[in-house]
Chains A and B, each alone.
Chain A
């Protein structure tokens, strides 16, 4: 089936950023286990994180300076401006997560921690670029396995183990389903290449087997983006995993998964014959509707900020699924824009949660009481993050939402469900303001239990301020990213 000769030179040139990450992850291990064994814990963590940040920045710089389009082995891996944007975004998110890990005390093995984070990042980047079922699967597994390990990294915490176990069991199950679906697709079309599948599916009728394959693939990818009904792992994992890991799961992993969803959708619904894709669209729209409804309603009842963010993540996944179901180039780009800006905001929010948890030992609402008087800058950052998630202008979350829904409404094939779902989503997002305000009420309104300032390292404060500024400035200049991700 595969008539393409593998050109290793080509492969190397297209995967240089991934290679950089791999090399750095090995380097981190060598440095940490080889040279720093006698050093103190904080020093080892700092060294490992610094190396990791340098690695991500180098990879990102390479991508920035080597823009252009390329592909490998008949589009098994592609590189175009959208993929590059996703990859740069993923690298930025990883760097931010590592910067926020300097103070983390959940592990006695900083070298392994950073190395596995970098491996997960490699997986995300490959997922974003993959256009071949096998490559997609392998890359997703690299990502998932790394994240399972990371979720369990706080060995002394029972919650962390629970989080990892739930994540792993659901993940393993859905990976099996997805692989099963891939095998059907391969059997039906005789190719694993997404373009080939698109061509082949366009020429054949809609057989029950295709529907089964679509359902199975939807289950696998639905798990990665935490869409209802494959969302059950999300609240526990968000709550139990160490804060930086939860941030990574909520950000970079989401970006990569949505990137692959956009690509898969493009191949399952050939643009020329939209009617054949109806099943897939129906699946996506139902998942979207259920996610929006359940995510927003369940978030109303939470008292743990992490669980609240988990349910709100489910709701946000629902909005993005609408954009994927619209299946136009504009809506695909809008999903990228949404996923990237959402991920950035979420990393910031988890950064604040990490600081509060370290000081108060809890992520419940009470722990946030009076934050504005204990650390005004931290409180202001949280204000910006949560309002952006709620979609209040002029923050970037608003533009992401507007751009996404406008793209959905403008898509030609959405007649039956487009307007109805957008109205539903906007009504639900009006509800979402309630639970974001519940957190902000604690931060700004409720009196503090103690007046002593919230201890935060200068680096954390700086990183969180930079993220908050990015969220605010991107909101004021939403076109700033249009070089990579076109709006409208």
Chain B
């Protein structure tokens, strides 16, 4: 059943690519229907499976000579992320409803690339064969490039190329690791479950693990490989930013967990010696994650471009996910997965507010300029929305971010108290940058310096009203975040057993 999320998306992309030019304006309707169908399937799959274990979705021989099978399975983690993908896809299309209104928007191409990307993402979250995983992972790279390069804004070609090259470099690292693992195991299977059973030599895991982990972590925005993320997010059109931060960065974190950590758990073991106080890859990556949390937050604090603020906040939030993964405790991993979901929703909401609702009406993202527009009065909807999204994003109780962050921090506190303290500092800075952005963009008291420009703004026609598509997208995202914030067990009951089923080493604290 869940497999149809993939097929529907790809079929939709293909049909849209062949859409006649005359039907440009209905491309968005068609895309929305496809995305809604995908969300419906994801939701039904999520509800049907309940808290049961791994569900086999599809299984067929693919390339027998290389031991590759077309196997799709869905455990709790997959089902949660598939649901996230469905929500992000629908919200993304709702917030790109303006594409297709004008001649020359190339709406059918836009939505074709969009759905192709979504199909690849669904595939990654469902793939149970290492190889299939990689194939879907790479399918997701190319549409991203075109989405940003064609429909993007600020330095779009630079941002798109940087993103594509970082992604491809990361996947080349992953491919090296896969090829080596395939050669070393000598077994004719690429099934993730089977490979996790195979005990690779420790010295092999010691270099294969960091290689694959970093390869995936590049896409998760791990410091210092995060630099593609802010430029890419800023350059991308709103829907693509939402997808990038919402689900594509999750692909990286998911790959870290599902491939690097599950197949090579002993790569997390101590080295037996110490460099600068670091004694294992686990500590190295935890340190990088902690730096990323603080660094992302600190840089967000001084940005002048509204979208850069959100872009760097994504780096910070994804740092929390990676830190949660490295805790190797049940609660930390639970938190990491929940944070993936929560950040997927909230980053989407923030980018939608900034990139679509505000920017499309004011045509500026400069916080200095915005502070003179008194948006709190002229655009109350956006202001209220950003307050909600900002509160949720800084981890206010009642929203999804809170539970996730608390869990990650508890896990981190048990594993490495120092890094947990650093991450705590990052969260405090997170409050600061959200506050600053909110204050400057919406509630600034700044008076306009010159009278002439002031009157120009006073006489400015009222901003275009909020459209039904925007309202629907907002309702979807805010509602989801609230539901998860108030009833976190809806997700946790599914995530916890799945995390528990991971290799024992990963949930029992590893070997320190």
Total contacting residues, chain A, CB less than 8 A: 35
Q: A422-B179, A445-B157, A488-B66 are in contact. Are A393 and B139 (CB under 8 A)?
A: yes
Q: Which of B67, B135, B161, B175 contacts A426 (CB 8 A)?
A: B175
B284 at the interface (CB under 8 A from A): no
Is A174 an interface position by the 8 A CB rule?
no
Say whether chain B's binding surface is mostly helix, strand, loop, or mixed.
Answer: helix
Contact: A487 with B161, CB < 8 Å? no
User: Which chain B residues in 158-189 approach chain A with CB under 8 Å?
Assistant: 161, 164-165, 168-169, 171-172, 175-176, 179-180, 182-183
**CB atoms of B164 and A445 under 8 A apart:** no
- Give Cα A372–Cα B150 distance, bound, in whole angstroms: 12
Known: A402-B179, A426-B175, A482-B65. 11 other contacts (CB 8 A): A406-B179, A409-B182, A430-B165, A433-B164, A441-B149, A441-B161, A444-B109, A445-B157, A486-B65, A487-B63, A487-B66
Cα–Cα, bound, A409→B177 (Å)? 12
From residue A45, how far is it (CB to closest CB) to chain B in Å?
A: 32
**Which residues, 450 to 488 on A, are CB-close (under 8 Å) to B?**
478-479, 482, 486-488
What are 30 inter-chain pairs, A to B, with CB distance below 8 A?
A: A372-B109, A380-B17, A393-B138, A393-B139, A398-B138, A402-B175, A403-B66, A405-B179, A406-B179, A406-B182, A409-B180, A419-B180, A423-B176, A426-B175, A426-B176, A430-B165, A430-B168, A430-B171, A433-B168, A441-B149, A441-B161, A444-B109, A444-B146, A445-B157, A479-B62, A479-B65, A487-B63, A487-B66, A488-B63, A488-B66
Say whether B134 faces chain A, with CB atoms less than 8 Å apart.
yes
Once bound together, how far apart are the Cα atoms of A372 and B146, in whole Å?
12
State which of B66, B139, B141, B161 has its C-beta within 8 Å of the C-beta of A394.
B139
B142 at the interface (CB under 8 A from A): yes
> Which chain B residue has the least Cβ–Cβ distance from A394?
B135
The answer, yes or no, to whether B145 is at the interface (CB within 8 Å) is yes
Residues of A within 8 A of B142 (CB): 387, 392
For the complex formed, measure the closest distance between the CB of A469 and the CB atoms of chain B, giving whole angstroms. Answer: 12
Interface residues of B (CB under 8 A from A): 17, 62-67, 106, 109, 134-135, 138-139, 141-142, 145-146, 149-150, 157, 161, 164-165, 168-169, 171-172, 175-176, 179-180, 182-183
Contact A422 B134 (CB under 8 A): no
Q: Which residue of A lies closest to B178 (CB)?
A: A402
* Chain A residues whose C-beta falls within 8 Å of the C-beta of B65 in the assembled complex: 479, 482, 486-488
Return chain A residues, CB-CB under 8 Å to B17. Answer: 376, 380
B164 to chain A, nearest CB (A): 6
Compute how far the CA of A380 lies from the CA of B14 in the bound complex, rounded to whole angstroms. 11
Partner of A479, one of B64, B109, B183: B64
Once bound together, how far apart are the Cα atoms of A482 and B62, in whole Å? 12
Asked if A358 CB lies within 8 Å of chain B CBs, one says: no
Q: Which residue of A lies closest to B134 (CB)?
A: A393
* A426 contacts B183, C-beta separation under 8 Å: no
A433-B165 contact, Cβ under 8 Å, with A393-B135, A405-B179, A427-B172: yes
Q: Which residues, 323 to 381 on A, are CB-close (under 8 Å) to B?
A: 372-373, 376, 380
Closest to A482 in B: B65
| CB atoms of A409 and B165 under 8 A apart | no
Complex Cα distance, B16 from A376, in Å, reads 12
CA distance A379 to B50 in the complex (A): 45
On chain B, the residues within 8 Å of A426 by CB distance are: 172, 175-176, 179
CA distance A479 to B66 in the complex (A): 9
Residues A406 and B66 in contact, CB atoms below 8 Å apart:
yes
Cβ-closest chain A residue relative to B145? A437
A166 at the B interface (CB under 8 A): no
Report the separation of the CA atoms of residues A402 and B67 in the bound assembly, to the nearest whole angstrom.
Answer: 13
Residues in A neighbouring B169, C-beta threshold 8 A: 427, 430
Q: Of A373, A376, A419, A434, which contacts B161 at CB under 8 A?
A: A434
Q: Are A422 and B176 in contact (CB under 8 A)?
A: yes
CA–CA, A445 to B64, complex, Å? Answer: 39
B320 to chain A, nearest CB (A): 29
Of A393, A422, A478, most B-chain CB atoms within 10 Å: A393
Chain B residues with CB under 8 A of A482 = 65
Indicate if A429 sits at the interface (CB-CB under 8 A).
Answer: yes
Residue among A399, A419, A429, A445 making CB contact with B172, cutoff 8 Å: A429
A372 to B149, alpha carbons, bound, how many Å?
14
